[in-house]
Every structure is written in C-alpha cells, then in structure tokens.
Amino acid sequence: MPIRCLQTLHAVCAAGLWLSAACCAPSAFSGGGASVYGSEPPAAADLSAARAAGRARSRLIHSGNLRPPADPRVPAGNPQATDSGPMPTADVAGFQQRIAPVLQRSCVPCHGPDQVEGNLRIDTLNPDLLHGPDTAWWLEISSVVARSEMPPSDAEALADSERALIVEWLSEQLRSASEVQRAAHSGSAFRRLTRYELNYALQDLLGQPFSFARDLPPEPFSKDGFQNSAELLQMSAGQLEVCREAFLKGLQRTTVRGERPPLLHWGCSMQAASADEWTRLDKQQQQLREQHASDPAALETALAEFQKQHSRRHGGAYYLDPASGLTDGIQWGYGGAQYAWPPQSTPPSPPPTGGRTAIVPPGRKLTVELGDQLPEFGPLLVRVRASLDSEPVRAAAEPASKSGRVPELQLEFGWQASNDSQASMRISDIRHPVTADPAGPVWLEWRVPLDEIEPRNLVRGINRLGDTPSPSELIRIINSGDSPGAVRIDYVEVTAPAWETWPPASHTELLGTTPNTDEQSAAREILTRFLRRAWRCRVEPQELDRKLALFNTIRPQARDFQEAILEVLAAVLASPRFLYLGQVAENSPGGCLDAHQFAARLSLFLWCSIPDESLLELADNGTLQQPDVLRLTIRRMLADPRSARLPREFVRQWLGLQLLGFLKVDRRVHSQFDDSLHEAMQTEPIEFFREVLNTNSSVLDLLHADYTMVNQRLARHYGLPEVAGSEFRRVSLPPELHRGGLLTQAGLLAMNSDGLDSHPLKRGIWLLERILNDPPPPPPPAVPRIDLADPEILKLSLKQRLENHRSQPACYSCHARIDPWGIAFEQFDAVGSWRTSVRGKPVDAAAELWNKTTLDGADGLKTYLLEQRQDQFITALVSRLATYGLGRPLRFSDAAQIEHIASQLRAEGDGLATLIELLASSDLFQSR
C-alpha cells in the first residue's frame, strides 16, 4: 500500500502542486529558526520542559529583529527622522573577514572547484546579498545550516559557534536584502472578493443567513493553500454573469412583495397518527376477551401474552402507549400520499402530554409527511415536543441514564416521488440535545428558509397529491445516534411561511418602512445607504447621481419601483467597487492603502466580510490607523461574533482541511468511523484555534497543549471521560492519551491517511509544508518505480519499504527529509486512533531525521519541534497568517517584515491574539 501511495504522491508532484524549492519562502530566511546555540541536548523531561528549553534558545528572542524594518517610503540616505532606519548596505567586508574562512573550510570541499555537489559552488557566490544575483542560494544555505542538515553527518562537523556565526550573518544580510527589494518593487494586492467572502458580505449587508454565493464557482487553491490569493482570483464573462444573477436573486430573496401570505399549520400528534394501529390492537384484545369470555384464567394468560408480544422494541421508529406499555411499528409509504398530514389555516392546539408517542431509537428517523402545500419561500418552522425515553424495558444494553452522552435530534427534508426517485437532506446544522424527562417533555425548534432547500420536489404543482410521481414532501426527525438513548416525540408542529413580521426586517432595512410616493427621493435614500455599505467608502455625489440615472433609465422598463431599484442595487454589487479590494493609488507613498482600503482589508481578515459602520467612521475621520485606535478596533472586532469566521476560513485553508472533507474511510475496517465523527474531526482544529485565539494563549499550544476542544463523539474517540452534547468545549488532556496540539488531532491524522491505513509520506509532507513552511522539493523527473511484483518487497513492513525506497540514490535526498516526519506518527492509524501494534507487529515509530536526530514517536517529534524548531514554526505561522491576511503570496521583500513581527510576537509572549494585533497593525498590512 505505501508503495502505491508513493506513486500517487509523485503524480501530485508532477501535476505541479508541490512547491518548487522555495527560494523566497520567508521562513527559510531566519535560518528556519533551528537552534544555533548548542548542539542537540538530551531530550527534555517532558513537553513543557522542552518548550521552556526551546524558548531559551530562540534566536528570534535573543537576537531578533525588534527594530522596524526600513520604511520603504523613506529613500536611502534621507535623514528625515522616522522610527525606521535608513536603507541598509551590504556587509561584504564582514563576509571576507569572518564568514568566508568558515565556508572555505566546511563547505567548499564539496561545493567548490573540486566537487560540485548539488550543482552548487559556494566559492563563486556573490557575497553582496543586497544587490548580487545569488540571494536565493544564500537563503537555501542559511536554511540547511541552521537546521544542522549541512554539513552532512559524514563530513567534518561545524562548531556550534561557527554555525551560529554563519546563520547570524546570513540572517542579517538577508533581512537587509529583503528591505532593499521592498523599496524597489511594488507588486499588487488588488484582488476580487472570494466566493466565501462574498457570501459573508452579502449576509452582513442584507441581514439574512442565506447561501448567497451558492452558484458561484469555487476558488482555486494557491500553492500556499489559500483561496484568497490575488493572482488566482480571476473574473470571466461567465463568472460575472453568475455573480449578477446571484446578486439579483439574493436581493429578491431578501425582499417581499404584496400582502402577507396566509400561514399554513400542520399539527401532527402521534396519538392521532397511531389511531389505526390502536384500533387494531384494541380489536385484537377485544377478540381475546370474547374468545376467552368464559375462562378468566385463560383470558389473563392470553392478555399477558398479548401484552408481552406487543410491548417490544422495534428496529425503526415505533409508537408507544405509555399508559398500557403497548408498542407498534410505524407504517409509512409514499404511494398515494396516504400518510400526508393536511395543512390547516388555524393554529392547532397541541394535545395533552402523556398520550401515545413515537419512540426514535439511536440512528433512526421519524418521518412526517406534509403533502404538497409547503410554500416556495419564507421560513419553515418545525417544533417538536420531545423527551428521553427512559423505559427500562426498551432501553438499550447500555442505559441512556448511565451514559454521559445524550441523544440529539437533527432535521432532514425530503420526499419520495416514486420507488426509485427519492431524496433526503439535512436542512439545518442545529442538533438539539434531548435531556428532558418523559414526564416533562420540552419543545425543540428549527427555523429554515424554504428557498434554501435544494432541490425541492419538482412535481409539486404539476402532479396532484396521490399521483405518482408523488408531489408530496416530508420532514424527518433523526436521533443522531451518538448516544445509546432513544427519544420520545409525541407531537410535531410545522408552520410556514412563518414570517415573524411582515414585511420582514430584511426588507425594510433595504427598502425602508413606509412606501415613499416620491420615487426619486426614495431611490436616493435607499442608494445612499446601500452604496456606503457595499462600497465601504465615502460615496461621491456624482457616483450617487450616476446610480440614480441608472434607476431612471431602468424605471420605465421595469414593472414597478421595487423591480427597478433592485436592478440598480444588483449593479452596485456587480461593480468592481464592491467586488474588489486592496487597490493603491498611483501616487501613494510606499504603496500604502488609504484608510478605507485598509478598513476593508482589516474586516476581510478578521470577519471575512465588509466593514461595519463604526469601522467606516474611523476610516472617514482618519483615526483608524492611529496605533491606539487600531489596537482597540482590532480587539472590538475579535470580540464580535463575526470573528468566528477567521478560525473557520483560515484554519481550513492553512491546514488544507478540504481534504478531510473528501476523505473516504474504509468503514468495514474502521467500523467506529461515522458521520458524526467525521464532522467532529473537521471541527476540532477550528475550535482549538479559536480557543487559543480567544484566550490569547501561546501559538506554541498549536504544537502541543494539555487541553483540546471536543464534543461527545470526539471525546469517545479519544477515550476521554464522556461529555454530553455535540457542542465543543474545552477539556484537559492527560499525557497518557498522547494528544494535544494540532499534530495529533484525529482529523489531521485521518486526513493524511488513505482511509484504510496511515500514510507516513502524506503526514510528513503535510507537516513540512503546512506547519514548518519547508516544503520538500519535487521528485526528479525519472524516479525509479518500486516493483510491486517483487515478493521480497511485499514482505517488508511499511517502515522497511520506505527505507528500501530511500536506499535508492535517486529517492534518498527527498525521502530522507520527508519520511521521518511521517513515521513518527505511526502510532496513529487511518482514523487517528492510538495503536500499539500494526498487523500483529509492534508499532515502530522511531524515526531518524536527516540531521541524525531521532524522533521517538509523536511525543518525541513534538518534543523536538518545541526544543529545536520553535522559531521555525512561529515564523511559518506568521507567514501563513500574513499570506491569508494580505490576500497575496509573500515575496522575498516581505521577509524582513515577517521576521520583525515574529520577533515582536516572541518578545510579547507568543499569544495568538497578540499575533493578530501585531500583524494587522504592521506596516506590511497597511501597504500592498
């Protein structure tokens, strides 16, 4: 299996998805941050000691770059006083004196006139990093020396002091080179909003939770994994057309016309639903009474037998009469819509509690068929009266009361039109935990916009109820099955279209409350409000006039005022002033964003959306970029619920979580894997990042922490004490579980498996790319294939196969850098469960890095990263967050700024919220 995967990965490389040797990756720039203050010490006693030891040797802390990089707005030699210094110059003299002799002795023997390993001659490189042509080579050298990957272990070792000397000098010069390039180059960060940003922006602008961007094509992923990367966000005629359609449709969905549509109610009591069944049961009992009328003893036996037969649990949902304890299965069939509840125009009254009820066992569904009268638009309100089912006779092997977990209800919508044409889909993310006692059932409620449901039953209004294909629609209430407990539901009430007010608030917020008879002033009022928000700027009078002129052109062709004004609003949204951001005026000094563009970048970063009014006001009055105001603003924005989008979108892209969504686990082998676990796995990294952010905890917690975020399903997967409900909450992690931090989260381990077994290569590459920002180079064009037909190869263990592969010279240089990082995770299987043996053999998770350090399993790997690679990880995270926040790939010219932010972060205690503040208030963030 691993062999096949090697080939897959090579195919990936061939497709160009792999980074080429990243000569301008800023992480490489600070020498990767590996220790240069002493060779590998004995492993620290535990992970927190490792963390302290790693901090003690951080280069960013001890000789970091706290001086702000040169201000590109100030030309070199200009004495004008700023915080930043003047443009730096190259230290060629220092190179000749201190660096060249060390290189000559340690490197040139293999990278010089006699031998040209790796096609590199160090003796002929230009030592002027600021203006010379060899800066990319120097970057590479700086990285490999800092990580102790060079000189190789079979060559003469480099003294620690010499290693430190080289790395220090190169870092300083590379930083200066970056500043020089920054002053010389401009580049562009002008970009279109992404599909998901458009969706959030429209939700905020129009005040509805709809999926406005559903029809827009998905954005591609950049080499760094981001979807908001300026150079990839194109706009074709087709895309523009889809955008315009989607905007107009979104505006139409936000507004209403005419009189309030009549309310329809469905009151579905299980007492009524089971009437036929109980008539039959009663009749059967009556027959027994008649049959045994003369023999009371026989009657008693017969009735007892009847009772026994008819009080059993059923596989699917079933009815229960709590008074008698009798049960019966629920019949449902689509044919003839004979089970459809008719709607009524008056609100039904719920029956008294205690009557017959439906029992929904774990993983089962209660179907409520609603016929063909559900409207096209408006909110669908579903209310369910529910409680736990605690009857011991029906309780599962493990009684619900003894389990810490609770059953949860979810809502599905669907239909069955004929025997082979059916659909059913979840229409709400809400999962209601059920904890109520049968004596006191509670109401649970879902509210779903009907036009968000897609597809609906399309023969509604064409076929009559009772025809086949059937136009009837139904809802299903599902017991999600994360707990052994069954749920009682004795009444379901459905109301549609359940508008809370008419016209709804979203309508009046857009178009005003009172009908204005003067169309011109009404249009002016609406447009003034809307342009300001959508274009997030001070709207010039002539721009407003132009939109009014458009209104006047359109008005005669439109049916009424509303149609015309919505067309104009759609044009406002299709304008580049809504769709694009990050522009810089031609004459802007140093390529700085103006206050409004900066406000937009800030809100896109923190909220994935457009600025709100208070942010716009700060931009208007020019105070936004004042350090104190900015810091307070960032804090306000992080405290706003919209900031939940930052972890969701950043973490998804940073870690490549879409691959976890696509993961197909072999459920025959991993029978514990289910949809709830899959969902929880995708949520944990996001919730964990959010927790670190909200508590301003150290970013190193992302590498290892003694807590994580779980819900009941994930807690069970991890073997943690049970927690109740699907909400995520913080729990402590005992060390014996070997969890903590992103790397050992089940979802990320599963994502980098092949669904059947672990996949060390995927795990290794992912760690190098996403966590350490040190992507391995692509494989050479002609890599030898592993001969799968060779029986000797098939006998080998996975680790041996990888070793075998590494032993081939063409494979060695790459795989020696990749494999160990993945092998260290071998204690985790394809679904991220801890294991001690693989196919009967003990797990071998000891891995030796290229620099001869041994990683002992995942704990050893985390210890190593915390001790030796803190700066590298932090610089990598700063780089990725900056790439995301700027919406463009980083350039070499950004490296000095990145290092500066990383140094500040270390000096201020590594907090994640601190990092966001530092980044958002940096010079980098305020220019293109």
Partner 1 sequence: MAVDTAALDRRRFLRGTGIALALPLFTSSSARGDQPADHTPPRRLACFYQPDGVPMPLANDPAFDEWAWFPHGSGSDFRLTRCLEPLEPLRQHLTVLSGFSHPSARSIHGHSNADQFLTGAPTGPSGEYRNGISLDQEFAAHVGDQTRIASLVMSTDGGTGTPRGAHTMSFNRHGRPIPAEHRPKRLFDMLFVSSDPDAARRLALSRSALDDLLEDARSLQRSLSSEDQRRLEDYLHAVRETELRVQKAAKWIHTPLPKVEAGSLNLELTPEQPREFLQTMYELIYLAFRTDSTRVATWQIGRENGVGISDYLARAVGFNLTHQLSHNTKEPGGWKNFGTYCRFLSEELARFLQRLEATPEPGGEGSMLDHTLCLFGSASSAFHLSRNYPLILAGGRSLGFRHNQYLNYGPQNPEGGAWEGGQEPWQKAVSHEDKPLSNLFVSILQKLGTSTERFADSTGRVDAV
- For residue 375, say if its preceding peptide bond is cis, omega within 30 degrees of 0: no
Note whether 96 binds partner 1 by CB under 8 A.
no
Contacts of 296 (CB under 8 A, 6+ apart): none
From start to end of 390-441, where are the E strands? 408-418, 421-426, 432-433
For residues 723 and 711, the answer to whether their CB atoms sit within 8 Å is yes
CB of residue 577 vs partner 1: minimum separation in angstroms?
6
CB of residue 221 vs partner 1: minimum separation in angstroms?
18
Tokens, residue 537: 């700027």
> Of 232, 243, 237, which Cα lies nearest the Cα of 199?
243
Q: Is residue 667 classed as helix, strand or coil in its secondary structure?
A: coil
What is the enclosing helix (H) or strand (E) of 847? Answer: strand 846-848
Find the part of the chain contacting partner 1 (CB under 8 A) among 38-46, 160-168, 374-382, 574-582. 574-582
Note whether 338 binds partner 1 by CB under 8 A.
no
Classify residue 651 as exposed, middle or buried by CB count within 10 Å of its CB (0-12, 13-18, 19+): buried
Q: Which is nearer to partner 1, 93 or 237 (CB)?
A: 237
Q: Which is nearer to partner 1, 237 or 323 (CB)?
A: 237
CB of residue 247 vs partner 1: minimum separation in angstroms?
10
Contacts of 771 (CB under 8 A, 6+ apart): 703, 742, 743, 873, 876
From candidates 351, 469, 590, 778, binder to partner 1 by CB under 8 A: 469
From candidates 17, 235, 505, 794, binder to partner 1 by CB under 8 A: 235
CB of residue 553 vs partner 1: minimum separation in angstroms?
5
CB of residue 30 vs partner 1: minimum separation in angstroms?
28
Note whether 191 binds partner 1 by CB under 8 A.
yes
Binding mask 203-232 for partner 1 (x = CB under 8 A): ------------x--------------x--
> Of 152, 145, 147, 143, which Cα lies nearest the Cα of 117?
152
Note whether 668 binds partner 1 by CB under 8 A.
no
CB of residue 622 vs partner 1: minimum separation in angstroms?
19
CB of residue 928 vs partner 1: minimum separation in angstroms?
8
Binding mask 508-547 for partner 1 (x = CB under 8 A): -----------------------------------x--xx
Q: Which is nearer to partner 1, 403 or 457 (CB)?
A: 457
CB of residue 588 vs partner 1: minimum separation in angstroms?
7
Note whether 8 binds partner 1 by CB under 8 A.
no
From candidates 103, 174, 360, 570, binder to partner 1 by CB under 8 A: 570
The string of DSSP codes covering 111-131 is BSSS-BGGG--STTS-S-TTT
DSSP letter assigned to residue 736: G
Q: Is residue 432 classed as helix, strand or coil in its secondary structure?
A: strand
For residues 212 and 199, the answer to whether their CB atoms sit within 8 Å is yes
Binding mask 260-299 for partner 1 (x = CB under 8 A): ----------------------------------------
Phi and psi at 709, nearest 5°, equal: -115, 125
Report CA-CA distances (Å) from 67 to 64, 80, 175, 903.
Answer: 9, 17, 12, 9
Find the part of the chain contacting partner 1 (CB under 8 A) among 13-21, 184-192, 650-658, 762-770. 184-192
DSSP letter assigned to residue 340: P
From candidates 8, 126, 508, 575, binder to partner 1 by CB under 8 A: 575
Which ranges of 84-227 does DSSP label H, i.e. alpha helix? 92-94, 100-106, 135-146, 160-184, 195-206
Note whether 252 binds partner 1 by CB under 8 A.
no
Binding mask 22-61 for partner 1 (x = CB under 8 A): ----------------------------------------
Q: Which is nearer to partner 1, 244 or 529 (CB)?
A: 244
Classify residue 252 as exposed, middle or buried by CB count within 10 Å of its CB (0-12, 13-18, 19+): middle
Gap between the Cα atoms of 62 and 56, Å rounded: 8
CB of residue 145 vs partner 1: minimum separation in angstroms?
36
Tokens, residue 31: 């020498």
Note whether 17 binds partner 1 by CB under 8 A.
no
Gap between the Cα atoms of 47 and 50, Å rounded: 5
Note whether 15 binds partner 1 by CB under 8 A.
no
Question: What is the residue type of 144?
Answer: V
From candidates 15, 83, 133, 236, binder to partner 1 by CB under 8 A: 236
CA dihedral of residues 174, 180, 185, 191 (deg, nearest 10): 60
From candidates 143, 148, 403, 457, binder to partner 1 by CB under 8 A: 457
Q: Which is nearer to partner 1, 426 or 524 (CB)?
A: 426
Pairing label, strands 379-389, 442-449: antiparallel
Find the part of the chain contacting partner 1 (CB under 8 A) among 10-18, 461-469, 647-655, 868-876. 461-469
Note whether 310 binds partner 1 by CB under 8 A.
no
Report CA-CA distances (Å) from 746 to 124, 571, 605.
Answer: 49, 46, 28
Pairing label, strands 365-371, 473-479: antiparallel
Q: Which is nearer to partner 1, 1 or 425 (CB)?
A: 425
Find the part of the chain contacting partner 1 (CB under 8 A) among 19-27, 240-248, 372-380, 688-696. 240-248
Gap between the Cα atoms of 522 and 168, Å rounded: 66
> Of 214, 416, 434, 230, which Cα lies nearest the Cα of 333?
416
Instruction: Give strand pairing partners of 411.
Output: 477
Gap between the Cα atoms of 548 and 527, Å rounded: 8
Q: Is residue 681 classed as helix, strand or coil in its secondary structure?
A: helix
From candidates 96, 161, 338, 553, binder to partner 1 by CB under 8 A: 553
Note whether 462 binds partner 1 by CB under 8 A.
yes
From candidates 21, 571, 659, 793, binder to partner 1 by CB under 8 A: 571
Note whether 548 binds partner 1 by CB under 8 A.
no
Q: Which is nearer to partner 1, 458 or 632 (CB)?
A: 458
The alpha carbon dihedral of 215, 220, 225, 227 has a sign of negative
Q: Is residue 359 classed as helix, strand or coil in its secondary structure?
A: strand
413-452 residues near partner 1, rule: CB under 8 A: 415, 417-426
Find the part of the chain contacting partner 1 (CB under 8 A) among 298-306, 569-577, 765-773, 812-820. 569-577
Note whether 251 binds partner 1 by CB under 8 A.
no
Q: Which is nearer to partner 1, 268 or 886 (CB)?
A: 886
CB of residue 92 vs partner 1: minimum separation in angstroms?
32
Gap between the Cα atoms of 603 and 596, Å rounded: 11
CB of residue 565 vs partner 1: minimum separation in angstroms?
12
Note whether 562 binds partner 1 by CB under 8 A.
no
From candidates 126, 428, 588, 696, binder to partner 1 by CB under 8 A: 588
880-909 residues near partner 1, rule: CB under 8 A: none
Note whether 381 binds partner 1 by CB under 8 A.
no
Gap between the Cα atoms of 134 and 348, Å rounded: 80
Nearest 5°: CA angle at 728, between 725 and 734?
100
Residues that bind partner 1 (CB under 8 A): 186-188, 190-192, 215, 230, 234-237, 239-241, 244, 415, 417-426, 455, 457-459, 462, 468-469, 543, 546-547, 550, 553-554, 557-558, 567-568, 570-571, 574-577, 579-580, 582-586, 588, 591, 928
